[in-house]
Amino acid sequence: MKKIAIAKQAMKVGVKKMFHIGILLFTGTSIIYGQSEVFRAGASMANISPDLGQGIAGGWMPLPLATHIHDELHSRSLVLDDGKIKLALVVVDNVELPREVFDEAKRLISEETGILKEQILMSSTHTHSSTWAGHEIDPPEPALSIRDNTRGNYPKPLDAYQRFVVRRMADGVRIALNNLEPARIGWGTGQVPQHVFNRRWKLKSPVTNPFGVSEAVQMNPGIGNPNILTPAGPTDPQVSFFSVQSVKGRPIAVFANYSLHYVGGVPKGHISADYFALFADRLQQLAQADRLEPKFVGIMSNGTEGDVNNIDFRGASPSYPPYAKMKIVANDVAEEVFKIYQTIEYKNWVPLGAAQTELTLNVRKPDGPTLAWAENIMLKAKTDHPMEKIFAERAIQMKEWPEKIDVILQTLKIGELGIAAIPFEVFAETGLEIKARSPFKKSFTIGLANGGYGYLPTPEQHELGGYETWLSVNKVEKGASREIVREILKLFGQIK
């Protein structure tokens, strides 16, 4: 009867006008009509595991070589389409991909799919057991594709593994587009406080850093250290996520965000995607989403984890077999997400939006006394601090960096959910500030997004000192976090 009524109305107003009144969409035995916009989603996973024998990131040089792959590394992609614009979100199992790798992948995706680069958000998970695919201290190459989008060439060509990852990221988005289907979307937040601890500790007595400077804060001071007082900053225990399903309720993907550095506990030589992948696997099991067609894709992005790990330095230090603690963390986070997941109220359509800018930041360069200190340290046969030579060499290398760098800041709108993307390891207090000041009902921040430029302490944390504030570990001006928050809030305002 409803179809007959629609047909009669079409004859009255004309078929062309009727098209603007609504569309007729068949979904099995149900009919949705009077709806002019259809929300669609599609997801995919692309394997990016390296050859054995490559260097494993996450530690000091020389990098240990990969001898075993415990679990495969992936590029996980999710494409959302509100009928007007498409958003592509890509999360890659790597410690920190540089901007030029993401830029080249975006160039390919834009050329091959038509999705605008500003509507593509890419980030690294920060697993410390992935193949190295970036520069830790070498100055960033001038990326011609930033200014001239017709070519993807760089003065220093991407290496073989970087080119492989670029191609797989681009392919992953294309496959997600192939999987687009009418969908519904919902979001939620949970609390998992038991696995996040601020790793920076205020001290009773100061300690001396590799530069010979006394500091009031120490990173990872050791379990039961009698010199520790209180954590130097907060944590963000919230796990945020959104879920997309087919209109019939088949799980398509869950995209989550949790502010925890990584877990580790990986044997030497092992490649692993850390808790990020174990979370996805456990959530798939809980949601009974195994062996679906298309496959369900769980995605865990890293949040504002620059000063957060999962070690409680005030407590005991139990011993775990390899991968055991990682599994505990992943299971707890997945179970909290699944608990909220079961209560979500899904929407059949939400508006999407994206805004992006490039912020120019001053680079921290070594001054004259620092360079003189570094050059002297490099000549010494015996050093006073075990990391003196490492940071003397890094200080000298920072001299070669440009005076300024341009970093991408980006925001996305998914209905009432706002997502910020920042290319640093952002401190928890900055992430909490963005959440508190965001104009959206729910929001979260993805770190190491669209590039990677090291740690981003607040000005107050710079005053306290500690590893994350050292020259070369932090590469940009000390007030950068303030500028970035201002720009992110402006971008949120543009898309709200």
Residue 447: what pLDDT? 98
Residue 9: what pLDDT? 40
Residue 318: what pLDDT? 84
Residue spans of the domains in the chain: they are 2-35, 41-194+233-351, 366-398
Residue 298: what pLDDT? 98
Q: Give me 261's structure tokens.
A: 């550095």
Residue 119 to residues 89, 247, 297, 355, Cα–Cα distance (Å): 8, 24, 20, 8
190/283 Cα distance (integer angstroms): 14
Residue 57: what pLDDT? 85
Across 386-456, the runs of DSSP E, i.e. the strands, are 404-414, 417-421, 425-426, 442-446, 455-456
Other Cβ atoms less than 10 A from the Cβ of 372: the count is 11
Q: For 160, which DSSP code?
A: H
Other Cβ atoms less than 10 A from the Cβ of 316: the count is 7
- For the chain, the farthest-separated pair of C-alpha atoms sits apart, in whole angstroms, at 93
Identify whether the C-beta of residue 482 lies closer than 8 Å to the C-beta of residue 430: no
Closest by alpha carbon to 475, among 359, 361, 363?
A: 363
Per DSSP, the residues of 12-66 read HH-HHHHHHH-EEEEETTEEEEEE----EEEEEEEE-PPPTTSBBPSSSSSPPBP
pLDDT digits (tens, 9 = 90+) for 6-39: 333 433 334 333 333 333 333 332 333 345 689 9
Residue 282 to residues 57, 277, 335, 377, Cα–Cα distance (Å): 25, 9, 8, 49
Residue the block writes with tokens 């979001």:
187
Residue the block writes with tokens 């799980």:
251
In degrees and rounded to multiples of 5, residue 405 shows phi and psi of: -135, 150
176/334 Cα distance (integer angstroms): 23
> How many helical (H) and strand (E) elements, i.e. helices and strands, does the chain have?
12, 23
Which residues, 6 or more positions from 284, have their beta carbon under 8 angstroms from its beta carbon?
Answer: 290, 296, 298
pLDDT in tens, the chain (496 residues): 433 443 334 333 343 333 333 333 333 323 333 456 899 999 999 999 999 999 898 766 678 899 999 999 999 999 999 999 999 999 999 999 999 999 999 999 999 999 999 999 999 999 999 987 765 556 665 443 333 322 333 346 899 999 999 999 999 999 999 999 999 999 999 999 999 999 999 999 999 999 999 999 999 999 999 999 999 999 999 999 999 999 999 999 999 999 999 999 999 999 999 999 999 999 999 999 999 999 999 999 999 999 999 999 998 778 899 999 999 999 999 999 999 999 999 999 999 999 999 999 999 999 999 999 999 999 988 888 889 999 999 999 999 999 999 999 999 999 999 999 999 999 999 999 999 999 999 999 999 999 999 999 999 999 999 999 999 999 999 999 999 999 999 999 999 9
User: What is the distance in angstroms between the CA of the first residue and the CA of the last residue of the chain?
Assistant: 40
Residue the block writes with tokens 């001006």:
477
Residue 115: what pLDDT? 98
Residue 139: what pLDDT? 61
Residue the block writes with tokens 């011993």:
319
Residue 140: what pLDDT? 61
Residue 440: what pLDDT? 98
